[in-house]
A = this chain, B = another copy of it.
Amino acid sequence: MSHEELDQLRAKLDDKNMELLKLLNERGNLVKKIGEVKSKAGTKRFDPVRERKMLDLIAEENEGPFETTTLQHLFKQVFKASLELMGEDEQKTLLV
């Protein structure tokens, strides 16, 4: 019984992982677009004020079970990876 329950929960978790993967990549594409707009405008990619606002919004909207600090840590990792995504594109542009 509990093994069947575990298998069902794991299948749901796999679905969530795939949703998460899709969402992260969708977010990545958005960040790339933002990077392009900023590049044309000559604005710096990294914006600490904007990053702070996003982290504050996470704190406001968090309903758990994760602690806000844990989520903010995870989001910071996502922000970091996204900045690298923008940097990489910039390099590619320079090579063309």
A interface residues with partner B (beta carbon < 8 Å): 2-3, 5-6, 9-10, 12-14, 16-21, 23-34, 37-38, 40-41, 50, 54, 57-58, 61-66, 70-71, 73-75, 77-78, 81, 84-85
Question: A18-B61, A65-B28, A74-B78 are known contacts. Are A6 and B38 too (CB-CB below 8 A)?
Answer: yes
**Chain A: interface secondary structure?**
helix
Question: A37-B6, A66-B24 are known contacts. Are A14 and B54 too (CB-CB below 8 A)?
Answer: yes
Closest B residue by C-beta to A41: B2
* Distance in Å: Cβ of A63 to nearest Cβ of chain B: 6
Chain B residues within an 8 Å CB radius of A29: 65
